[in-house]
Amino acid sequence: MLANAVIQIGLFFLIVVAISVPLGRYMARVFSHEPTLLDPALRPIERLIYRLAGVHPETEQSWVEYAVAMLLFSAAGMLLLYALQRLQGLLPLNPQGLSAVAPDLAFNTAASFTTNTNWQAYAGESTMSYLTQMAGLAFHNFVSAAAGIAIAIAVIRGFVRRNAKTIGNFWVDLTRATLWILLPLSIVMALALVWQGVPQNFAPYVQTQTVAGATQTIAQGPVASQEAIKELGTNGGGFFNANSAHPYENPTPLTDLIEMLAIISIGAGLTHTFGRMVGDRRQGWALFGAMAILFLMGVAIATWSEQRGNPMLTRAGADQRASAAQSGGNMEGKEVRFGIVDSALWATITTDTSCGAVNSMHDSFTPLGGLIPLLNMQIGEIIFGGVGSGLYGMLVMAVLAVFIAGLMVGRTPEYLGKKIEGREMKLAMLFILVFPLVILIPAAIAIVLPAGLAGISNPGPHGFTQVLYAYTEASANNGSAFAGLNANTPFYNVTLGLVMLAGRFLMKIPVLALAGSLAAKRTVPPSAGTFPTNGAVFVILLVGVILIVAALTFFPADALGPIVEQLAMRHGRLY
């Protein structure tokens, strides 16, 4: 069993390395406007989009113009999604006759998908029409991901350019990320998913008489197209309530493998895109290395804890021992086809990135197994990370790491030839501080207000973890859940919606300002006193800084939730 776990996780990691290098090279070409194989097919579509939208692709934007374009585009998309939900009863492609979504839920969902969070306070199959799923939700899956990639590229340009006033054109980066990266990968992946059994139809739900004579209504829909972009764009919003645990979203171990690779590959590839664009591939490998260390640590702990199981299940008479005939372990909330290893691996990946799709129910994980997804989000989803957001989050941590290294030796810190000075550090600290602020304060409010307490479904420390997890995932734009929390209430819909917007835009704006500030600087040549950021020492320092920042910020809160629950569980305490 241990051997199989090591082989599955090890092979998975090797495939990620093998995919991310060429993918990173390809993305660097796309955003440097170098020729690619897809140009003959895509250039005409690109030009048509610019003409229809009135974009002047040759115009460059300052960081302020870039940020304004991103904000206006997000606002327009959020409005479209809100309108589609409110009007879906009158619109086509609604064979189940689903009625308008309530205003607070429609706001929450619009904020959620616009910010790439894809938190779902609703059950897809009983709430959203096919049209809303496609043109509302899947559309945002594409463009919120494309906007994330665009901003990461803009930040890279900030490091590359010298004495420059501009960092690119948002509309061009958005369009190219959609056309050259997300759409082609989605088409191939969606067809592979259909082959494996993921439905893609517009039929009404199927009414059957089961073998045992009961009736069963089987929800249908255009699932495959949405499933593909949901993973590739690290969005995570499921077509169905059970998300990728649903056999229609994720029917086989092969689809599970494809979907996990889709979640992680673009984020991993962007480290190499970064290395190529800054002209030193080892810089990219250094970030990749730091991410890989954190990833492997997380998945090892989560897998071990879930496989070890829950002593309470053994006392109740269940056999949790692994054998050739069963996976064993804590199977509550998990699917037989994924067992322990693929469930723990998925839970780690989906929170390393900002995906939030789940193939098992995190609420039913052992406390330690559930702590890993929570921690992954609390360190900022920079382990490969959300498409785009992972890279720029990691770059902010790298800036912090060189700053701390500079303090230790008493020199002005540099990163990639750019002097890191007061303005850059203020922006980096703003980015780092906004995040815990919008998690811990709303969570603290929720656990003293009756409206917040009313949503908790599990007693004891686990109930607190449910609330902490909800605000963490909302701020981190993740969207996975301790799903027992009854969050479809005006209180949670509104507060979580606002936290998602803050977690996205209050962090993106400082990052773009940082990019603008760096682009305007000249580049200094490396000297004997320059701390090299492409070697093992930097990787270790970076991992250390990330863990210390997260631990200092979140340990007290986590101690009240999963940590105390783990101790209680080992001592046989129930609530």
Partner 1 sequence: MRLWVALRMTIVLAVLTGLVYPLAIAEIGHALFPFQADGSLVRRGGAIVGSSLIGQNFSAPRYFQGRPSAAGDKGYDADASGGSNLGPTNKALATAVAARVRELRERNPGATAAPVDLVTASGSGLDPEISPAAAALQIPRVAKARGLGEDAIQALVRANTRPRFLGLFGEPGVNVLMLNLALDRLRPGGRPTGS
Residues numbered 531 to 560 that lie near partner 1 (CB under 8 A) are none
Query: How many CB atoms within 10 Å of residue 215?
Result: 8
Q: Are 214 and 222 in contact (CB under 8 A)?
A: no
User: By CB under 8 A, what part of segment 448-487 binds partner 1?
Assistant: 457-463, 465, 482-484
136 touches partner 1 (CB under 8 A) = yes
222 touches partner 1 (CB under 8 A) = yes
Stretch that binds partner 1, among 263-271, 338-346, 415-423, 523-531 (CB under 8 A): 338-346
437 touches partner 1 (CB under 8 A) = no
Instruction: Indicate the residue among 458 and 523 with the shorter CB distance to partner 1.
Output: 458
Instruction: Indicate the residue among 239 and 392 with the shorter CB distance to partner 1.
Output: 239
231 touches partner 1 (CB under 8 A) = no
- Quote the least distance from Cβ 495 to partner 1, whole Å: 21
Among 58, 209, 525, 528, the residue binding partner 1 under the rule CB under 8 A is 209
Q: Are 474 and 499 in contact (CB under 8 A)?
A: yes
Q: Are 137 and 84 in contact (CB under 8 A)?
A: no
| Alpha carbon distances (Å) from 563 to 369, 385, 553, 554, 567 | 11, 25, 15, 12, 7
Instruction: Indicate the residue among 59 and 412 with the shorter CB distance to partner 1.
Output: 59
- Quote the least distance from Cβ 413 to partner 1, whole Å: 36
Site string for partner 1, 404-433 (x = CB under 8 A): ------------------------------
Query: What are phi and psi for residue 59, nearest 5 degrees?
Result: -75, 130
Rounded Cα–Cα distance for residues 487 and 442 (Å): 14
Instruction: Indicate the residue among 328 and 380 with the shorter CB distance to partner 1.
Output: 328
Among 35, 58, 336, 528, the residue binding partner 1 under the rule CB under 8 A is 336
Q: Are 228 and 261 in contact (CB under 8 A)?
A: no
Among 16, 27, 150, 224, the residue binding partner 1 under the rule CB under 8 A is 224
Q: What single string gives the DSSP state of each residue in 389-444?
A: HHHHHHHHHHHHHHHHHHHHHTS--EETTEE--HHHHHHHHHHHHHHHHHHHHHHH
Which residue(s) pair with 215 in the sheet?
209
Stretch that binds partner 1, among 104-112, 223-231, 398-406, 525-533 (CB under 8 A): 223-231
- Quote the least distance from Cβ 54 to partner 1, whole Å: 5
| Alpha carbon distances (Å) from 76 to 59, 70, 83, 110, 181 | 22, 10, 11, 11, 23
Which residue(s) pair with 561 in the sheet?
none
Instruction: Indicate the residue among 198 and 379 with the shorter CB distance to partner 1.
Output: 198
Q: At what angle do helices 461-475 and 490-519 cross, to 10 degrees?
A: 40
Q: Are 314 and 443 in contact (CB under 8 A)?
A: no
Among 206, 408, 451, 536, the residue binding partner 1 under the rule CB under 8 A is 206
Instruction: Indicate the residue among 149 and 518 with the shorter CB distance to partner 1.
Output: 149
Stretch that binds partner 1, among 339-347, 504-512, 519-527, 551-559 (CB under 8 A): 339-347
- Quote the least distance from Cβ 79 to partner 1, whole Å: 8
Instruction: Indicate the residue among 488 and 523 with the shorter CB distance to partner 1.
Output: 488
Q: Please work out the total of residues on this chain that contact partner 1, with binding judged by CB under 8 A.
A: 134
User: By CB under 8 A, what part of segment 341-360 binds partner 1?
Assistant: 341-343, 358-360
Among 319, 411, 529, 537, the residue binding partner 1 under the rule CB under 8 A is 319
Rounded Cα–Cα distance for residues 19 and 253 (Å): 19
Among 226, 283, 353, 378, the residue binding partner 1 under the rule CB under 8 A is 226
Spatial neighbors of 173 by CB under 8 A, at least 6 apart, are 31, 146, 149, 150, 153, 154
Spatial neighbors of 415 by CB under 8 A, at least 6 apart, are 159, 398, 399, 402, 533
SS3 232: helix
- Quote the least distance from Cβ 408 to partner 1, whole Å: 42
Rounded Cα–Cα distance for residues 349 and 326 (Å): 24
User: By CB under 8 A, what part of segment 61-80 binds partner 1?
Assistant: 68-69, 72-73, 75-77, 80
Long-range contacts of residues 542-549, Cβ cutoff 8 Å, at least 24 apart: 542/286, 542/287, 542/290, 542/397, 542/398, 542/401, 543/290, 543/293, 543/294, 545/397, 545/400, 545/401, 545/404, 546/290, 546/294, 546/379, 546/380, 546/382, 546/397, 547/379, 549/379, 549/397, 549/400, 549/432
Query: What are phi and psi for residue 422, nearest 5 degrees?
Result: -55, -50
Q: Are 112 and 500 in contact (CB under 8 A)?
A: yes
- Quote the least distance from Cβ 342 to partner 1, whole Å: 6
Spatial neighbors of 502 by CB under 8 A, at least 6 apart, are 434, 438, 475
User: By CB under 8 A, what part of segment 234-293 binds partner 1?
Assistant: 240-242, 245-248, 251-254, 256-257
Instruction: Indicate the residue among 301 and 551 with the shorter CB distance to partner 1.
Output: 301
Query: How many CB atoms within 10 Å of residue 217?
Result: 12
- Quote the least distance from Cβ 100 to partner 1, whole Å: 19
199 touches partner 1 (CB under 8 A) = yes
Instruction: Indicate the residue among 241 and 523 with the shorter CB distance to partner 1.
Output: 241
Instruction: Indicate the residue among 276 and 362 with the shorter CB distance to partner 1.
Output: 362
User: By CB under 8 A, what part of segment 163-192 binds partner 1?
Assistant: 171, 174-175, 178, 183, 186-187, 190-191
- Quote the least distance from Cβ 303 to partner 1, whole Å: 13
User: By CB under 8 A, what part of segment 25-64 binds partner 1?
Assistant: 45, 49, 52-55
Site string for partner 1, 79-118 (x = CB under 8 A): -x--------------------------------------
